[in-house]
Amino acid sequence: MANSTPRDPRINRRRFTQGVAATAAAAGITAPAARLTGAQEQTTIKFWTHTHPPMVDLNTELVEAFMAENPDIVVEYEIIPNNEFATKMLTSMGTGTGPDIINMDDNQMRSIYMPRGLVQPVDPVALGFESLDALKAAYIPTALTGATDVDGAVYGLPSEFNVTAAIVNTAAFEEVGLDPAAPPASWDDVWTQGMQLAVRDGDTLTRRGFGWVYLHAGWYHNQLGTLMLQTGGEYVAEDGTTVTVNSPEMAAALGIWHDAIHVHGIEDPNVANTDSTVPYQDVLDGNIAMSFFNPWGMGLITPDAAIGENWSIVPLPQANPDAPVTPLYAYYFAINALTTDEAKKAAANKLIGYLTSVPDRWLAEVAFIQPRVGWEESEAALAMPYIDVWSSEMLKGQFLPVTPNAEQVDAIMMSTIQSSLLEAVPPQEALDAAVPEIETAISS
Amino acid sequence: MQRTAVPDVLSPPRGRFRLTYMQRRNLWGFLFAVPALIFFAIFAIYPILRTFYLSLYEFSVVDPPVYVGFENFRNLENDTRFHQAIVNSFLYVFSTYIPVAILALVLALALNTPIRARGFFRTIYFIPVVMSWVVVAAIWKLIFNRQGLMNTLFLENLGIAPKNWLTDSEWAPRAIVIMSAWKELGFFMVVFLAGLQAIPSDLYEAARVDGSSGWQLLRHITIPLLKPTILFVSVISMITGLQVFVPQWVMTQGGPVDATLVMSLNIYRTAFVFLEGGRAAAMSVVLFLIIGAVTLIQFRLARMRD
C-alpha cells in the first residue's frame, strides 16, 4: 500500500512488552500441553511402607529398577515411621488419600482392612498367575492365611513371612559356663539359665537374662500372643463376643512375663530401650542374653553391632515342650480399594508382581522370607543362617487369633500388661480388670 | 416565560450510593481482613461446628457416619479411661502451672531490678520457649531415661536411688511436669515482666517516701496492679494445660498404665487409633465446654475480687 506508514523497525518499550507477553502466553499454552502429553503417557502410583532400613534399601532399589523398566509408570515410595505407621495409613485410607499399594501386617489386614473393604482382592492374572488356585499353589499353605478372608478371597501377597524363635548371646552363655548349643527348651529352663546370665549393677539390671520389647501396643500384643499360643489362651472366644482374657490360660501366659520380672528377676522393662526404630536394639547392643527373635531381625545384625558374631538362633522356649507352638505373622502387599483407575491398578499389580519376583534377593539381602513352595531349598535359603531352625519352627507355626476392634483391644491389653509388669499387679487380677473394657471395645 | 435549567448541585444524585469517609475506611479494613476471616472460618469455625455435628454420630474414620443422637455423650459416663484423662489433665495443669506462675513472677521481679547481665538471664530463661515441644520432649525423654542424666548426674550424686521416671506410673507424670515447667517458665516470666514494666514508677516512689517496706510495695502496689496480667496468665495456663498433647505423646504415649493419658491424647487415640470418631468428637465437645466453663469462672472470680 503506497500510502501506508512505514513501520518503525526500532524496538520501543511498548513493542518489547508486547513481545514478552506474546512469548509468555505461547509458553503458557504450550508448556501445559507438553506436560499433558507426558501425563497421558505416565501413570503415577503411591507405595508406602514402615521403617526397616534393610527393607527400605531393597525396596528403593527395586522401585528404581522397576521404573527404569517401565518408563510409563512413576512410583512415589514413602516411608512412614513405625510408631505412626498404623495410624497414618488408616487415616489416609479413610480420607481417600492413601497409597495405591499398602504394606500391612496380618493382624491389621484381618481385623480392619479386609472386613472394612479398604483393600481389594488380588487379581491373580495381573500378578502373573493363571488363576487364584495357581497363585495359592505357588505359596506354602500358611503363607496367605493372614490375607485370606472366610470366603477364601486373597487380599495380598506376602512381602515378609515371619516365625518367632529365640536368639541367644553366645558370649554371655560362655562367660557364665553355659553351653549355647544347649539352649533352654522350656520356660523353667529360661529361669534357671536366665538367673545365671543376668548381670546387675546395684539395683540396675545391666544384662537381662531374657528380654522383651516394649515399643508399642503391637509389640505387647505379639509377645503376649506368643505366650498365649503356648498356654492355650485367647482374648475373645471363637464366637467373637465372649471375653476370655481372664481365663486361667491367659493368666498363665501373662504369668510367664510377670514372673520373669517379679519372681526370677531376670528382666526389667525399666531399662529397656523404648526409643529405637530398631526393635531389637538391646539384643544388638549385647544387653540381653536371650530374647524372642524373627528372621527379619537378622538383617539388622550388621558388623558394627556390639553383639558381633556372638549369637545363635535356637528354638523358642515352650510352656509345654511336648506340644510346641510358635506364632506366625506376615506383612502383605495389597492394593487400596479406592484404586479403581484401570491404569493405576495395572501398574500397582505390576509393581507387586515385580517386588515379589525376587524372593532370593529378599532372603539374602534383608532376611525376609517370601515363602513360595520350595523356598527353603533355594540357594539363598541354604545360605541363610540357621535355616534349619527357622524351617522347623515354621512347621510349628500358627497365626494369632484376631479380635474385633483389634487396635482398641491391643491398647487395653498394653495397659493391662503394663500394670502387671510395672506395678506388679498379679496377672489374674490385671486381666480381670481388663474384661469390662474389652467387652465394651468389642461390642462397639 | 422560558425557564432556564439550573443544575442541582446541592441534593445528592438520585440512584447513586455514596459512602462517607469513615464507611469507606471501614470497608477497606474489612476487605483486608477478609482473607484472614476466610482462613479462620475454614480452619477454625468449620472444624468446631463439624465436631459438634459428628459428636451426634457413630463415625469411624473409614466408615460413613450413622446418627446416634446423644449416645456418645451417654457412653462417656461409664468410660473410666475418659474420667482418668480428665483427672490427669487437671493434675497436670495444677502441678505444672501454679508453680510455674509463682516462679515466673519471682524471676520477673528479680529481672525487673537493675541487676548485672539481666538481658543475658532474660534470654537464657526464654530460650526453651522458642524451642519446639517435640524437640524438648525428645531431649527430656533421654534425660529421664533410667541411665539418663537425671539419675546419673543428680540423684546418684545426692545418694538417692535412681527412679524409673518414665515407666513408673507415680513418677512419669512428675517427669512431664518438670519438663513442662522448664519449657513454660520463660514465657510467663516475660508476660509478668511486661506487666511489671507497665506499673508507673512514681507509685513506688510515693510509697517509699511514705516509708513503705519492700513487702508492702509488693502487696499493695505490684500485686493489685498486676491483676490483669495474673488473670491473663491463669486463663492462658488453663487453656494451654488442658489442651496439652505433645509431651505426653512423645515421652510416654499416655502410659504407663494410662498415668499420663490426658484429654487431648485420649481424643486423638480414640479417633485415629480406635477409629471411634463420634466418641472422640463428643470428648472434644466436653473438653471445649470444660475449658469454656473454667475460663468463665476465672473471669468471674477476677471480677468479684475487683
Q: What's residue B97's pLDDT?
A: 95
pLDDT band at A204, cuts 50/70/90?
confident
Is residue A282 located within the same domain as residue A147? Answer: no
Confidence band (pLDDT; 50, 70, 90) for B8?
low
**Of B20 and A35, more confident:** B20
Q: Helix, strand, coil % (nearest 5) of chain B? A: 70, 0, 30
**A427 and A283 housed in the same domain:** yes
- A206, A74 Cβ separation under 8 angstroms: no
Per-residue confidence at A33, pLDDT binned at 50, 70, 90? very low
Average pLDDT (A388-397) is 92
Mean pLDDT of chain A: 89
In A14-170, DSSP assigns E strands to 43-50, 73-80, 101-105, 119-120, 157-163, 165-169
CA distance A359 to A381: 10
Question: Cβ contact (<8 Å) for B274 and A405?
Answer: yes
**Is it the case that residue B268 has pLDDT exceeding 70?**
yes
Q: State which residue of chain A sits closest to B255, comparing Cα positions.
A: A415
Q: How many CB atoms lie within 10 A of CB A152?
A: 10
pLDDT reported for residue A35: 45
Q: Say if residue B256 is preceded by a cis peptide, omega within 30 of 0.
A: yes
CA torsion A19-A25-A31-A34 (nearest 10°) is -100
Statement: residue B235 has pLDDT above 70: yes
Half-sphere exposure at residue A61, Cβ-oriented, CA atoms within 13 angstroms: 11
Give mean pLDDT, residues B213-237: 92
Is A424 in the same domain as A283? yes
- Give me the mean pLDDT over the B267-286 stretch: 92
Domain count, chain A: 2
Q: Do B269 and A405 touch (CB under 8 A)?
A: no
B94-125 tens-digit pLDDT: 999 999 999 999 999 999 988 888 888 889 99
Residue A392 lies in a domain: no
Same domain, A292 and A209: yes
Instruction: Looking at the structure, tell me whether residues A291 and A201 fall in a common domain.
Output: yes
Q: Tell me how crowded residue A436 is: count the other CB atoms within 10 A of its CB.
A: 13
Q: Which domain holds residue A140?
A: 16-162+329-387
What confidence score (pLDDT) does residue A30 get? 44
Domain shared by A138 and A181, yes or no: no
| Per-residue pLDDT tens over the stretch B240-254 | 999 999 999 999 989
CB A169 within 8 A of CB A179: no
Task: Establish if A193 belongs to a structural domain.
Answer: yes
CA distance B142 to A177: 35
Band of residue B13 on the pLDDT scale cut at 50, 70, 90 = low
Best residue in A88, A220, A274 for a mutation probing chain B (most B CBs within 10 Å): A274
Q: How far A271 CA sits from the closest chain B CA (Å)?
A: 6
The answer as to whether A10 is a domain residue is no
- Indicate if the pLDDT at residue A23 is higher than 60: no
> Is residue A369 domain-shared with residue A432, that is, in the same domain?
no
No. of helices (H) and no. of strands (E), chain A: 16, 12
Percent over 90 (pLDDT), chain A: 72
Same domain, A148 and A280: no
Q: What's the pLDDT band for A240 if we cut at 50, 70, 90?
A: confident
Q: How far is the alpha carbon of B183 from chain A, nearest alpha carbon, in Å?
A: 22
Contact B141 A419 (CB under 8 A): no
Question: A179 lies in a domain?
Answer: yes
How confident is the model over B226-241, as a mean pLDDT? Answer: 93
Q: Which cell is A106 given?
A: 496380618
**pLDDT-wise least confident of A283-287, B61-65, B140-144, B240-244:** B61-65
Per-residue pLDDT at B4 exceeds 80? no
Residue A65: its H or E element: helix A53-69
Q: What pLDDT does B299 receive?
A: 87
SS3 B66: strand
Amino acid residing at B244: V
Average pLDDT over residues A172-198: 95
Q: And the C-alpha cell for B73?
A: 455423650
B62/A116 Cβ within 8 A: yes
Whether residue A39 has pLDDT greater than 70: no
Per the rule left: phi > 0, alpha: psi between -120 and 50, beta: everything else, A212 is beta
Indicate whether A289 belongs to any domain: yes
Q: What is the pLDDT of residues B57-94, one digit of tens each?
A: 998 877 788 999 999 999 999 888 999 999 999 999 99
A87/B147 CB distance under 8 A:
no
Nearest one of B116, B252, B249, B237 to B183, comparing CA atoms: B237
Among candidates A422, A440, A444 on the partner chain, residue whose Cβ is nearest the Cβ of B256? A422
Q: Is residue A419 included in any domain, yes or no?
A: yes
A:B CB pairs within 8 Å: 70
Q: Is the pLDDT of residue A253 over 70?
A: yes
Lowest model confidence (mean pLDDT) among A26-35, A223-232, B64-73, B157-166: A26-35
pLDDT at B305: 64
- Distance separating alpha carbons of residues B93 and A218, to the nearest angstrom: 31
Q: Are residues A300 and A368 in the same domain?
A: no
Residues A313 and A232 in one domain: yes
Whether residue A176 sits in one domain with residue A46: no
* Confidence bin at A12 (pLDDT 50/70/90): low
Does pLDDT of A244 surpass 80? Answer: yes
The distance of B264 to chain A (nearest Cα, Å) reads 16
pLDDT 10s digits, B14-34: 556 788 999 999 999 999 999
Structural domain ending residue among the three candidates A387, A409, A425: A387
**Distance of residue B61 Cα from the nearest chain A Cα, in angstroms:** 5
pLDDT confidence of residue A32: 44
Query: Nearest CA of chain A to the CA of B291: how many Å?
Result: 27
Contact A407 B274 (CB under 8 A): yes
Burial class (CB in 10 A: 0-12, 13-18, 19+), B33: exposed
Over 70: is that where the pLDDT of A103 sits? yes
Residues A298 and A236 in one domain: yes
Q: Does A304 lie at the interface with B, CB-CB under 8 angstroms?
A: no
Residue A79, SS3 per DSSP: strand
DSSP three-state, residue A398: strand
Residue A276 belongs to domain with CATH number: 3.40.190.10
B64 at the A interface (CB within 8 A)? no
Does the pLDDT value for residue B306 go beyond 70? Answer: no
Helix axis angle for B171-197 and B118-130, nearest 10°, is: 130
Out of A387, A411, A430, a domain closes at A387
Q: Is residue A123 part of a domain?
A: yes
- Is residue A434 in some structural domain? yes
> Would you state the pLDDT for residue A31?
46
Q: In Å, how far from its chain's centre is CA A132?
A: 25
Q: Please, which pLDDT band fits residue A14 given cuts at 50, 70 and 90?
A: low
CA nearest B248: which of B260, B232, B236? B260
Q: What is the per-residue pLDDT for A36?
A: 43
Asked whether the beta carbons of A410 and A198 are under 8 A apart, the reply is no
Q: A55: Cβ–Cβ under 8 A, 6 or more apart, which residues?
A: A49, A160, A296, A299, A366, A368
Instruction: For chain B, say whether A414 makes contact (Cβ under 8 Å).
Output: yes
